[in-house]
Amino acid sequence: MLGAIVGDIVGSRFEFNNTHRTDFELFTPECGFTDDTVCTVAVADALLRGVDFGPTLHSWCRRYANPMGAYGGRFRQWVASDDPQPYFSFGNGAGMRVSPCGWIDGPMDDVLEAARQSAACTHNHPEGIKGAQCIAECIRTLRDGGGREAVRAVATTRYGYDVSETCDEIRRTNRFDVTCQVTVPQSIVCFLESTDFEQAVRLAISIGGDSDTIAAMTGSLAEAFYGIPDAIARQALACLTQEMRDVVIPFIAQRPIQLIR
């Protein structure tokens, strides 16, 4: 899940100011964690403590009410509500926060059910749940020794996503889009073309669109396959608050995560 946080932080300054280059500086004073990181940490916290995703997500997002990049309109209303209910979203918020579920130990069904639950408290549209489950299953597939072609097969055969485009092809026509249907396969393509963790994040940002979220999803896959260089991990952790580090560091130390039933 630190891979998702790295992607979010590095991509944060490009979310509304896209670049098509890959030779940008990774971390600058303009970078910071966004709603993607807040929600990812919340999912990790729920898994560590064995509590429900919805109330944990609600609590974290209320504490970080105005993150860089801001929450989407309906999600902001969900955070503000004293009785938050799912709102049938298929936005990529489901995919951006799910990566901790990919580090669950045990059968794949446990991973998929956790991914479903992590999405369904807000994004209970079938496409929202599908996006979350695809990212989580790809992470687990990579952890279990599968490679790029195994991920391609998961995306296409299990979830029906088209991952046949190249990054160059996506880059030429890409527009800002926050749906799982568009951004989840894009993030997988960026991973498939990469040769190391850093390049995966750079490719994800370079295709434009919802840069931080695409990079978060790509980063979560790349972490499971390549690992994260120590220098990059340290820089990302330094961008977080102490209470975030108090979740992220134990999560990394304890994974694979044993579900508390």
Residue 18's domain spans which residues?
2-254
Asked if residue 212 belongs to a known ligand binding site, the reply is yes
Q: Are 86 and 50 in contact (CB under 8 A)?
A: no
Segment 71-82 mean pLDDT: 97
Report the share of the chain in percent with pLDDT over 70.
100
pLDDT at 25 exceeding the cut of 80: yes
**Would 209 be classed as within a structural domain?**
yes
Segment 64-75 mean pLDDT: 94
**Would 259 be classed as within a structural domain?**
no
Q: How confident is the model at residue 261 (pLDDT cuts 50, 70, 90)?
A: low
Asked if residue 105 belongs to a known ligand binding site, the reply is no
Cis ω for the linkage preceding 250 (within 30 of 0): no
| pLDDT score of 162 | 99
Residue whose token pair is 């004293």? 82
What DSSP letter does each residue of the chain carry, written as one string?
-HHHHHHHHHHGGGSSS----S-S-S--TT---BHHHHHHHHHHHHHHHT--HHHHHHHHHHHT-S-BT---HHHHHHHH-SS-------BTHHHHS-GGGGGB-S-HHHHHHHHHHHHHTT--SHHHHHHHHHHHHHHHHHHTT--HHHHHHIIIIIT-----S-HHHHHHH-----BHHHHHHHHHHHHHH-SSHHHHHHHHHHT-SSHHHHHHHHHHHHHHHH---HHHHHHHHHTS-HHHHHHHHHHHHHPSBPP--
Q: Are 219 and 4 in contact (CB under 8 A)?
A: yes
**Would 61 be classed as within a structural domain?**
yes
**Would 84 be classed as within a structural domain?**
yes
Asked if residue 35 belongs to a known ligand binding site, the reply is yes
pLDDT tens digits along 101-151:
999 999 999 999 999 999 999 999 999 999 999 999 999 999 999 999 999
**Would 260 be classed as within a structural domain?**
no
Give me the number of domains the chain comprises. 1
| pLDDT score of 118 | 99
CATH number of the domain at 117, please: 1.10.4080.10
Asked if residue 210 belongs to a known ligand binding site, the reply is yes
Q: Which tokens go with 147?
A: 């490679």
Query: Angle at Cα 227 formed by Cα 162 and Cα 168, nearest 5°?
Result: 35
Q: How many CB atoms lie within 10 A of CB 59?
A: 14
**Would 99 be classed as within a structural domain?**
yes
Mean pLDDT, all residues of the chain = 98
pLDDT at 258 exceeding the cut of 90: no
